[in-house]
């Protein structure tokens, strides 16, 4: 009898291949696990912490975190805090202004680009740059541009005999100056989305209309723009939601000043958190901001579903 033929029979597979089979059958779960764990640790857990913090005082005493439950105290503080309404108002003014101006500009630019055959690559390349540059570098560039004595703008104005203002240090001009920087940074974002929308439009419709004697303005008014509506809605809603995130450039250019002229809610939350080290109150304000954004996101989802349906 040949003893060497006692290899494993097909009926009882080895442990390794059994594990292999098991992994294969459950591969769906192994591959999603890292994402689920990350979301639990870095999103779900922090969200619960945020809720807890917003009803507590949190202090770090000798390296230990000390929690004291305070209930709705932070709500009362917020209602009496004179900066809160100003910060919300400034944020709203900023968001509305940049969204309206950037929508008009990006629509205009993308229509002009989509009608061009030459130089399209150049326009697209140049307009992509502001979206990838670090916002702090953008802030620094514009600090140099706005500098009262040696900035590009005031030096250019001096050439034609105008004494330039102090821009970011002037209570009246600070917010418009910030808005201009945001236009530089973010107009490209809506431009890229709208241009993608325009380029995906069927050209046959325009040609048919042209054959039928429609003017370019009519084509724009009755074909291009109506077809663009879903893209435009998406772009505007996204830009609105992202505009609430504004922080870096204001931090660097004005720090919220002069006074509270450019104080926005993100910046104020950071100051409460880092400058005053009131973790609980900062978390309460952050939670309030998150709730406002959530309403926007839900509204946006509904709108997006309706316009694409």
Partner 1 sequence: MRKISFEPIFRHGLLMLVVLFTLVPILFTFATSLKYFRDIISGSLAFTPTLVNYQRLLDPSQSNFLRLTFNSLIVAAGTMVIVLVIASLAAYSLSRFRWRPLWSGLLLGTILFIHMLPPVTFLGPFYLIARALNIYDTVLAVIMGHIVLNLPTATWILLDFFAEIPKELEEAAMVDGASRFESLTRVLLPMIQPGIAAAGALAFIFSWRDFLFSLSLTSTPRGMTIPVGISSFVQEYSIRYGEMAAGAFFAMIPALLLVAFAQRFIIKGLTLGALKG
Touching partner 1, residues 46-75 (CB under 8 A): 46-47, 49-50, 53, 58, 60, 63, 65
Stretch that binds partner 1, among 141-149, 169-177, 206-214, 218-226 (CB under 8 A): 141-149
Among positions 219-238, residues that touch partner 1 (CB under 8 A) are: 234-235, 238
As a whole number of angstroms, the distance between CA 287 and CA 303 comes to 24
Among positions 92, 136, 208, 225, the unique one binding partner 1 when judged by CB under 8 A: 136
As a whole number of angstroms, the distance between CA 248 and CA 245 comes to 9
- Regarding 135 and contact with partner 1 (CB under 8 A), the answer is yes
Number of residues in contact with partner 1, rule: CB under 8 A?
Answer: 98
Query: What is the CA angle 252-133-287, rounded to 5?
Result: 55
Q: Whose Cβ is closer to partner 1: residue 219's or residue 293's?
A: 293
Kindly report the number of other CB atoms within 10 A of residue 174's CB atom. Answer: 22
As a whole number of angstroms, the distance between CA 68 and CA 84 comes to 23
**Within 13 A of 79's CA, how many CA atoms are on the CB side?**
5
Among positions 142, 175, 186, 224, the unique one binding partner 1 when judged by CB under 8 A: 142
Among positions 75-94, residues that touch partner 1 (CB under 8 A) are: none
- Regarding 215 and contact with partner 1 (CB under 8 A), the answer is no
Q: Whose Cβ is closer to partner 1: residue 5's or residue 31's?
A: 31
Among positions 239-258, residues that touch partner 1 (CB under 8 A) are: 241-242, 244-245, 247-248, 251-252
Q: Tokens 């419709």 — which residue? A: 205
As a whole number of angstroms, the distance between CA 138 and CA 182 comes to 9
Q: Whose Cβ is closer to partner 1: residue 56's or residue 175's?
A: 56
Q: Whose Cβ is closer to partner 1: residue 175's or residue 231's?
A: 231
- Regarding 309 and contact with partner 1 (CB under 8 A), the answer is no
Stretch that binds partner 1, among 4-12, 95-103, 219-227, 266-274 (CB under 8 A): 266-274
DSSP state of 8: P
- Rounded to the nearest 10 degrees, what angle do helices 174-199 and 83-114 cross at? 40
DSSP state of 7: P
Q: Whose Cβ is closer to partner 1: residue 100's or residue 297's?
A: 297
- Regarding 148 and contact with partner 1 (CB under 8 A), the answer is no
Among positions 13, 18, 22, 39, the unique one binding partner 1 when judged by CB under 8 A: 39
Q: Tokens 């034609």 — which residue? A: 160
Q: Whose Cβ is closer to partner 1: residue 1's or residue 43's?
A: 43
Rg of the Cα trace of the chain?
28
Do 289 and 200 meet the contact criterion of CB atoms below 8 Å apart?
Answer: no
User: What would the x/- binding string for partner 1 be over residues 96 to 125, using CB under 8 A?
Assistant: ------------xx--xx-xx-xx--xxxx
Q: How far is residue 117 from each of residues 122, 195, 223, measured CA to CA in Å?
A: 11, 14, 20
Do 218 and 210 meet the contact criterion of CB atoms below 8 Å apart?
Answer: no
Q: Whose Cβ is closer to partner 1: residue 76's or residue 274's?
A: 274
Q: Which three-class secondary structure state does DSSP give residue 64? A: strand
- Regarding 19 and contact with partner 1 (CB under 8 A), the answer is no
Strand partners, 56: 69
């Amino acid at each position: 009898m040949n003893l060497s033929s006692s290899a494993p029979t097909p009926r009882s597979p080895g442990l390794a291949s059994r594990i292999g089979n098991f992994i294969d059958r459950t591969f769906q779960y192994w591959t999603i696990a890292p994402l689920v764990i990350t979301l639990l640790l870095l999103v779900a857990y922090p969200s619960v912490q945020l809720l807890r913090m917003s009803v507590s005082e949190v202090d770090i005493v000798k390296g230990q975190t000390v929690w004291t439950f305070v209930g709705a105290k932070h709500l009362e503080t917020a209602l009496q805090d004179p900066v809160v309404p100003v910060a919300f108002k400034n944020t709203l003014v900023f968001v509305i202004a940049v969204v309206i101006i950037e929508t008009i500009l990006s629509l205009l630019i993308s229509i002009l680009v989509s009608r061009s055959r030459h130089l399209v690559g150049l326009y697209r390349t140049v307009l992509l740059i502001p979206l990838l540059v670090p916002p702090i570098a953008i802030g620094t560039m514009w600090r140099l541009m706005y500098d009262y004595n040696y900035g590009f703008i005031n030096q250019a104005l001096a050439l034609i005999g105008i004494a330039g203002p102090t821009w970011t240090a002037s209570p009246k001009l600070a917010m418009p100056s910030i808005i201009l920087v945001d236009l530089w940074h973010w107009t490209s974002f809506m431009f890229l989305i709208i241009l993608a929308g325009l380029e995906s439009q069927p050209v046959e419709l325009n040609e048919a209309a042209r054959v039928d004697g429609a003017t370019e303005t009519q084509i724009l008014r009755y074909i291009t723009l109506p077809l663009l509506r879903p893209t435009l809605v998406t772009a505007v809603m996204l830009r609105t939601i992202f505009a609430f995130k504004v922080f870096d450039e204001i931090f660097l250019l004005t720090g919220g000043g002069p006074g509270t002229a450019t104080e926005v809610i993100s910046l104020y939350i950071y100051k409460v958190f880092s400058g005053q080290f009131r973790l609980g109150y900062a978390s309460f304000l952050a939670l309030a901001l998150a709730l406002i954004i959530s309403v926007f996101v839900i509204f946006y989802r509904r709108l997006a579903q309706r316009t694409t349906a």
